[in-house]
């Protein structure tokens, strides 16, 4: 059974931050595979599956714009939360008027992509404690649920392009004849440099807490608007 989907996503702005830019936010030229996976998980996610991004098709020309955004200079920390829970006198609150700072951001504008993705089955049971299904049957059921949700515009939370203030619209494509084609300015081959592929999380086996994170990168090559994403370099 074919366990792949084609999802069109679009929006006015997008920000896929490059990790090498320490202070000001600068976006990659196109959506990253990890951001594409996040969009799919916003529509349909189960602990029994993992979305694998196979290809990204860029439809609109790559355009950048500069804006200044209000951010906060700190975040609530786990040690402080533990101190407060233990009866400490510190506060967990963050006061925006005291910790606000403006940062310049280099964003993408008027973005539109086709996400080509497939389902990897981690657990063949549809629910915890349920009967194990053949891998093809489990993939087919998850795929059917995703398609039903996507065709109705349903999502667990609003999909977004990198930051929550940049919402994404989505549309499911089941017929190849309905696919939009890349803009003529995207013809030819372009080296996009090293791009974040995904992040590997290592869990503590006893507590299930995240013990460490390892980012993985790949050399992105765009040919006529299409970027082929290599397989994940780590075990799921």
- Quick check: is 88 in a domain? no
CA distance 158 to 42: 7
CA distance 69 to 30: 21
So what's the pLDDT on residue 89?
Answer: 66
Name the one residue in this structure whose structure tokens are 């069109």: 8
The predicted model scores a pTM of 0.86
So what's the pLDDT on residue 98?
Answer: 73
- Quick check: is 94 in a domain? no
- Quick check: is 233 in a domain? no
Q: Kindly state the average pLDDT of the residues 104-123.
A: 94
Q: What is the CATH number of the domain that holds 111?
A: 3.30.70.2660
| Strand, helix or coil for residue 131 | coil
So what's the pLDDT on residue 1?
Answer: 42
- Quick check: is 62 in a domain? yes
- β-pairing, 189-203 vs 64-72, is unpaired
So what's the pLDDT on residue 58?
Answer: 98
- Quick check: is 23 in a domain? yes
- For the record, the structure tokens of 155 come out as 């999502």
DSSP state of 105: E
CA distance 143 to 135: 12
Greater confidence (80 vs 227) lies with 227
- Quick check: is 41 in a domain? yes
- Quick check: is 235 in a domain? no
CA distance 25 to 17: 6
- Quick check: is 75 in a domain? no
Residue 175 lies in domain: 4-69+105-228
Total domains in the chain come to 1
């Amino acid at each position: 059974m074919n366990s792949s989907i084609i999802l069109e996503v679009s929006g006015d702005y997008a920000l896929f931050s490059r990790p090498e830019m320490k202070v000001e936010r600068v976006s990659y030229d196109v959506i990253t595979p990890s951001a594409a996976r996040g969009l799919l998980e916003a529509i349909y996610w189960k602990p029994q599956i993992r979305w694998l991004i196979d290809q990204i098709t860029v439809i609109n020309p790559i355009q950048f714009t500069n804006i200044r955004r209000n951010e906060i200079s700190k975040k609530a920390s786990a040690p402080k939360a533990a101190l407060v829970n233990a009866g400490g006198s510190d506060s967990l609150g963050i006061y925006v008027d005291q910790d606000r700072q403006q940062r310049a951001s280099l964003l993408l504008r008027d973005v539109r992509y086709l996400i080509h993705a497939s389902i990897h089955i981690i657990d063949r049971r549809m629910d915890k404690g349920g009967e194990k299904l053949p891998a093809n049957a489990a993939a087919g059921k998850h795929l059917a649920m995703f398609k039903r949700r996507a065709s109705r515009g349903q999502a667990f939370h609003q999909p977004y392009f990198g930051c929550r203030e940049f919402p994404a619209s989505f549309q499911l494509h089941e017929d190849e004849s309905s696919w939009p084609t890349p803009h003529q300015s995207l013809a030819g081959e372009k080296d996009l440099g090293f791009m974040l592929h995904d992040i590997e999380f290592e869990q503590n086996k006893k507590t299930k807490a995240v013990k460490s994170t390892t980012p993985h990168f790949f050399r992105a090559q765009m040919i006529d608007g299409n970027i082929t994403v290599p397989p994940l370099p780590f075990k799921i």
